[in-house]
Amino acid sequence: MSQPFRHPDRGRVDRTRPLTFRFGDRTMTGFAGDTLASALLANGVHEVARSVNLGRPRGIVTAGVEEPSAVVQIEAPFPEPMLTATTVEVYDGLVAHPLRGQGWLAPEPDSARYDAVWAHCEVLVVGAGAAGIAAAADAAASTGDRVILVDERPPRPSEVPAGVRLLTRTTVVGYYDDNFLVAVQRRTNHLGAAAPLEQARERLWRIRAGRVVLATGAHERLIPFPDNDRPGIMLAGAALAYLRDYGVLVGRRALVYTNNDTAYRVADELRGAGVDVVVADTRADAPAADLPGARLSGVLGDRRVTGVRVAGRQLDVDAVLVTGGFSPVLHLYSQAGGRLRYDDGLGALLPDGCRQRVEVVGAAAGVGLPRCGPPPMPEPSDADGRTFVDLQRDVTIAEVRRATGAGLRSVEHVKRYTTAGTAHDQGKTSGLLTSATVAAALGSSAAEVGVTTFRPPYVPVSFATLAGRDRDDLFDAARLTPIHDWHLARGAPFENVGQWKRAWYYPRDGEDMAAAVTRECRAARTGVAMMDASTLGKIDVQGPDAGEFLDRLYTNVMSTLAIGAVRYGVMCRLDGMVFDDGTVARLTADRFLVTTTTGNAAAVLDWMEEWLQTEWPHLRVWCTSVTEQWATVALVGPGARGVLARVAPDLAVDVESFPFMRWRDATVAGLPARVFRISFSGELAYEINVATWHGYALWQALMTAGADAGITPYGTETMHVLRAEKGYPIVGQDTDGTVTPDDLGLGWAIRKSTKDFVGRRSLSRPDTARSDRKHLVGLLPDDPTLLLVEGAHIVGHTPLGPPPVPYLGHVTSSYPSVALGRTFALALVTSGRQRIGERLYATVNGTLIPVEVTSHVLYDPEGARRDG
Amino acid sequence: MSWVPEQPDRVWRSAEPKRRYQVVIVGGGGHGLATAYYLARNHGITDVAVLERGWLAGGNMARNTTIIRSNYLWEASAGIYEHALKLWESLEAELGYPILFSQRGVLNLAHSPQEVRDGMRRVQANLLAGVDAQWLDPMEVAEVCPIVNVSPQLRYPVLGATYQPRGGIAKHDYVAWGFARAASDLGVDIIEHCEVTGFDRRDGRVIGVRTTRGEIGAQTVALSAAGHTSVLADMVGLRVPLQSHALQALVSDLLLPVHPTVVMSNAVHVYVSQAHKGELVMGAGIDAHNSYSQRGAVHVIERQLAAAVELFPVFARAHVLRTWGGIVDVSPDASPIVGLTGIEGLMINCGWGTGGFKATPGIGWCYAHTIAHGQPHPLNAPFTLDRFTTGALVDEHGAAAVAH
């Protein structure tokens, strides 16, 4: 017979919609509205899992998220591990499998979509039971505030108060500072394979609430007794829920084992549904009990309860329904910083004040809960090893007592020793039982022993849900320049530089990277070439104190800069080590344009703001990132002036009118532009800035204007080679946070005046001022075709000998150079400048390569090429 | 089947504080306990108390992600971490305690040309320092850890990795308890719920501590309280350059074996291993603000899991069971501060940031030496407090480009 334990008319499942599912090797039916647990129980299936260590058969204990036992693996429509059968809604085609404590992950990628939304409200009510609905109605009626009511269950036919936004199938999982709460909404799980792919399967709600009302109810507790883990043993309240909500009888003949009065209501209702019920009450003074003052001393049956030994008698039963009292659900309250106090009457914790605007109502505040004290602890006996405190972790009373016997006193230590409370349920039904067991063993009280810390999330949340849309291409924003499409069309590979995509090189037919870079370098040194430099960080620094401010951040003085002039600048951290470099241009008396390295743009702006906001709030300076407002094209090479003259006929481009380290406003290719005469290659060069939306037009105009001069676009690799030939360091490549400006050969950029700047004091520390620090130098391998590996280390002797081998430094940059007609490298080497001309060795994986130390400036050391 | 070892029938002996000790160690975490153990074992100094303000080893020792490796960049760092790793390799037998030390290897992924340079550099430095290190290309990464996504289509593709085969994990609590029991057996007093509230001084010298359980005299007071070390040092007017931040970690539900090694990534920021029980143990970046609160913000967790799913697509439907925070104490050069303080009778050990757990036996060994001899052990000599005055920094954050 199908669903033999389904009551003919109780429950709220939709009997017009039968559903077929498979559990293990059995195909069964349930109804729309069933959970996997209720559908299994309707089919008479209690055994749904094996225990993790002992391999004991395990059943269904609860009807909700607190389930400590019935953990299953979903296999279809998509594998998901370790879900509680009590929270999985049944759908057609569901395939689930019993687990033994460990689930498995699908090897194929999860194609479902996840997203996240923000919500703001004056009042957030968590839990749509009677207390929650009343609180929400109250809040909505009295003020007209935005009220959100969140409930973990599927929609119910109950009344939603007017003006209240109800989120169902939604569980608040975390309560953070400033009334910021995070909830997970399960949107399409219950549809199974029919779930529309374009709809987010789960949605993360980030809710900021003016005040929070927690109507989170209470979880029933077990009573420890021997073999209290057998399938067929469940919480009394769960049995009632299965009857009321799902029309399922959890057995035909049940023992209700209780220490409180709620058992009698359960017994009456089950009897009304046709179940034979015997009530055993641990209290002697229990007039309504069939068996007052009773102790449950044994359970018969292995894979399903067949009987019990209670009060000295043996009873044939197929279900044992336990209630050991109720624990208010205060996980969120505790996460919020709420204090808890132990209440002897309830045998549970109650809210005791919180720094956040939160109130607790209903059963979560202890309202309506039966007074019963802690669950009665069994006397030590041989059965302790079969008397479970934490079902999921297979932790018994004997195990907890062994922990205290070993000398442990703190419940935190007992948790770590026994693993109690560490499973997927995080001890929802077992935490207080563990504390009570510890207290009993130590002759202490549960109040004194306390409980372990409540941590988010309240229920397990899948990684994918928390990852949301931040996956694949959306994992991190890709920043593209306005000229990106041109690079793409030209077949350029891209290099990730921070979030930016930068064109790396532009291979022509049949060219590999080396050939392309050689060609690009040659064009820049002998003809004319151009590069998209739009990613360079740009910060507009304005205000009457802007010059003073920049003087404090840069090692050289910026306040003396003339309007129209540009200066190279270095910034140090407090420790005197190079942080960033770039140029500073004075636009007007109180306005500067600062450039930064591409990767450090945000860090430099943060650095400026940190100083302005925390140390120098009196300075009248305002900083604005304008990186994305400007497109920048570097026009480089001896032919650059001719090309610029052609596109900017009104601009005087001769050396006298437009000297090095100056900028000019101009019209370039008909576009309003600001042109800088600066160079990162040593060649005559102009950096032309136009509004971002004109960047593509500028690029095309320059390509056209330079066509007959053979203008050659080049990428970041060529830029790196050109600058390295000139000994220009790249912050982050040739520096690593341990390098001073002087180490890089930039001592000239440190002001001579006594005026302070960030890092100055550190530069005078004895170790920082040593003359034998590591210096940036050039290295020429003896074999001019041999390319050193970047990261290779430098030693002064051969053979290496056994470790530890002292070393002198490492290779920071290494390239073949068409200009030098050979390979070369830059390296940081101890006393490097004193070693010029010396023979050293580069070592990679134990091999030694002879090299000669040279100046770090290998190309055009006189600077003769600067003016073209 | 998920596996945890049988726990011993006996842990440490809880002691009542005596009036005075030769050495009082403030902080009953892994470092304090290891120091006490090696004081007794290596130096015969057993008149030692370890004071813990809460439950033993309940701070960072109970909160870290248990990764052990020694492949730091600079000789000074590799020296002390490699000393620790060698001790780890025989620690289980040494302590007679099952610490679940598993040398399953540690991968540090590189996702940009600069990370490749940095990784190659660190491998070469490690080889010269005598630390096992390899550079792996993406295919070799996939051989070591088949679930890592090495597709070039990744937003930040895996371009290679450094690999330290001798790296791995151990069970943090058991390590602490093993040290505690072994120290206790040698006569060390372990005193829980005993918070230091002040110091007793005579002629400038520290001669004892005031605690919530009374005054305790000492010839040497050795601070070992991570981020709270600066709070303690403040009580004697000693300023210690530490910034404390919350660093969050999390565990997943129990899974059948899926992840054979330890993977760390800085650019796609996450680090993850699978513990013996079967849960994935993960961490990522610090919460930016200064804090002693052992909790953090959820956006950090969201970002961390985005990174996890990006690098390990199979993790999509694993579940987060629990998140928590530890406190990382970061010095200006991201290296520890160990040794003398300039105040007679007071020693200091802090600033380990994200490296504290993996250093546990090594720092215990060296700090004990420093206390016993009144002079730094050669391996912690570079990590003096006065390096911030002299400038002789051991800068690991810029250089190694590897946190944790």
Q: Is A804 on the interface with B (CB under 8 A)?
A: yes
Identify whether B199 is part of a domain.
yes
Identify whether B396 is part of a domain.
no
CATH code, domain with B126: 3.30.9.10
Residue B398 has pLDDT above 90, yes or no: no
Identify whether A640 is part of a domain.
no
Same domain, B231 and B261: no
Same domain, B177 and B221: yes
Residue B143 has pLDDT above 70, yes or no: yes
- Give every residue of chain A whose pLDDT is below 50, as ranges: none
Q: Which residues of A touch B324 (CB under 8 A)?
A: 453, 455
Same domain, B357 and B376: yes
Listed residues B328, B351, B381: the one ending a domain: B328
Q: How far is CA A268 from the centre of its chain?
A: 50
Distance of residue B207 Cα from the nearest chain A Cα, in angstroms: 31
Same domain, B258 and B324: yes
Residue in A closest to B135 by C-alpha: A845
Q: Quick one: which of A312, A323, A428, A423 has its CA closest to A372?
A: A323
Identify whether A25 is part of a domain.
yes
Q: Quick one: which of A427, A630, A638, A397 has its CA closest to A532?
A: A630
Same domain, B253 and B309: yes
What's the first-to-final CA gap in chain B, in angstroms?
A: 30
* H or E stretch at A521: helix A513-526
Identify whether B379 is part of a domain.
yes
Q: Quick one: which of B289, B286, B281 has its CA closest to B315?
A: B281
Identify whether B8 is part of a domain.
no
Same domain, B257 and B379: no
DSSP 3-state of B338: strand
Same domain, B199 and B298: no
Q: Do A102 and B256 touch (CB under 8 A)?
A: yes
pLDDT tens-digit map of B274-301: 999 999 999 988 898 999 988 899 999 9
Residue B404 has pLDDT above 50, yes or no: no
Residue B403 has pLDDT above 50, yes or no: no
Q: Is A106 on the interface with B (CB under 8 A)?
A: yes
Identify whether A721 is part of a domain.
no
Q: Give me the pLDDT at residue A539, please.
A: 98
A297 vs A304, A313, A387, A732, A747, CA distance in Å?
17, 10, 10, 71, 85
- Residues B47-61: what's their mean pLDDT? 97
Q: Is A530 on the interface with B (CB under 8 A)?
A: no
Number of domains in chain A: 3
Identify whether A494 is part of a domain.
no
Please report which confidence band the pLDDT of residue B401 belongs to, taking 50, 70 and 90 as the band edges. Answer: very low
Please report which confidence band the pLDDT of residue B212 belongs to, taking 50, 70 and 90 as the band edges. Answer: very high
- Residue A463 to residue B308: CA distance in whole angstroms: 8
Listed residues B298, B328, B358: the one ending a domain: B328
Which of A100, A103, A733 shows the shortest C-beta gap to B117? Answer: A733
Complex confidence, ipTM: 0.96
Furthest CA-CA distance within chain A: 112
Q: In sequence order, what are the residues at sequence separation of 6 or more whose Cβ sits closer than 8 angstroms to the Cβ of residue A828?
A: A734, A739, A743, A774, A775, A776, A777, A809, A810, A812
Q: Which residues of B touch A743 (CB under 8 A)?
A: none
Residue B16 has pLDDT above 70, yes or no: yes
Q: Quick one: which of A324, A529, A550 has its CA closest to A431?
A: A324
Listed residues A272, A289, A324: the one ending a domain: A324
Residue A635, amino acid: L
pLDDT tens-digit map of B310-339: 999 999 999 999 999 999 999 999 999 999
Identify whether A133 is part of a domain.
no
Identify whether A785 is part of a domain.
yes
Mean pLDDT, chain B, whole residue set: 95
Q: Give me the pLDDT at residue B400, please.
A: 42
Q: Which residues of A touch B55 (CB under 8 A)?
A: 410, 412-413
Q: Give me the pLDDT at residue B268, please.
A: 85
Whether residue A741 is preceded by a cis peptide bond, meaning omega within 30 degrees of 0, is no
Q: Do B395 and A80 touch (CB under 8 A)?
A: no
Listed residues B300, B328, B356: the one ending a domain: B328
Residue in A closest to B267 by C-alpha: A498
Q: Give me the pLDDT at residue B396, please.
A: 86
Identify whether A273 is part of a domain.
yes
Q: Do B308 and A467 touch (CB under 8 A)?
A: yes
Listed residues A65, A81, A100: the one ending a domain: A100
pLDDT tens-digit map of B99-112: 999 999 999 999 99
- Residue A403 to residue A415: CA distance in whole angstroms: 9
Residue count (chain A): 868
Residue B1 has pLDDT above 50, yes or no: no
- Residues B364-372: what's their mean pLDDT? 98
Q: Give me the pLDDT at residue B118, please.
A: 95
Residue in A closest to B82 by C-alpha: A804
Q: Which residues of B touch A52 (CB under 8 A)?
A: 1-2, 254
Q: Which of residues 741-760 of A touch B (CB under 8 A)?
A: none
Residue in B closest to A470 by C-alpha: B306
Give the domain extent around A85.
Answer: 14-100
Global pTM reads: 0.96
Is the CB of residue B183 less than 8 Å from the CB of residue B190? yes
Same domain, B117 and B139: yes
Same domain, B141 and B202: no
Same domain, B318 and B177: no
Which of B58, B255, B307 shows the shortest C-beta gap to A103? Answer: B255
Q: Do A403 and B390 touch (CB under 8 A)?
A: no
- Residue B366 to residue B90: CA distance in whole angstroms: 17
Distance of residue B367 Cα from the nearest chain A Cα, in angstroms: 22
Same domain, B27 and B159: no
Distance of residue A181 Cα from the nearest chain B Cα, in angstroms: 9
Query: How many residue contacts between A and B have a Cβ separation below 8 Å?
Result: 268
Q: Give me the pLDDT at residue A375, please.
A: 80
CATH code, domain with A41: 3.10.20.440
The count of other CB atoms within 10 Å of the CB of residue A334 is 18
CATH code, domain with A812: 2.40.30.110
Give the domain extent around B192.
Answer: 20-64+172-242+332-390
CATH code, domain with A296: 3.50.50.60
Residue B399 has pLDDT above 80, yes or no: no
Number of domains in chain B: 2
What's the first-to-final CA gap in chain A, in angstroms?
A: 95
Q: Do B127 and A845 touch (CB under 8 A)?
A: yes
Q: Give me the pLDDT at residue B402, please.
A: 39
Listed residues A324, A348, A369: the one ending a domain: A324
CATH code, domain with B367: 3.50.50.60
- Phi and psi of A274, rounded to 5°? 100, 10
Q: Is A800 on the interface with B (CB under 8 A)?
A: yes
Distance of residue B201 Cα from the nearest chain A Cα, in angstroms: 32
Q: Give me the pLDDT at residue B3, please.
A: 65
Which of B130, B317, B321 shows the shortest C-beta gap to A105? Answer: B317
Which of B13, B316, B397 shows the shortest C-beta gap to A737? Answer: B397
Tokens of A97: 């499998």
Identify whether B12 is part of a domain.
no
- Residue A720 to residue A726: CA distance in whole angstroms: 10
Q: Do A107 and B12 touch (CB under 8 A)?
A: no
Q: Which residues of A touch B130 (CB under 8 A)?
A: 802-804
Q: Which residues of A touch B322 (CB under 8 A)?
A: 422, 426, 455-457
Percent of chain A with pLDDT over 90: 94
Identify whether B5 is part of a domain.
no
Identify whether B209 is part of a domain.
yes
Same domain, B219 and B266: no
Q: Is A115 on the interface with B (CB under 8 A)?
A: no
- Residue A442 to residue A438: CA distance in whole angstroms: 6
Q: Give me the pLDDT at residue B2, please.
A: 54
Residue in A closest to B324 by C-alpha: A455
Distance of residue B126 Cα from the nearest chain A Cα, in angstroms: 9
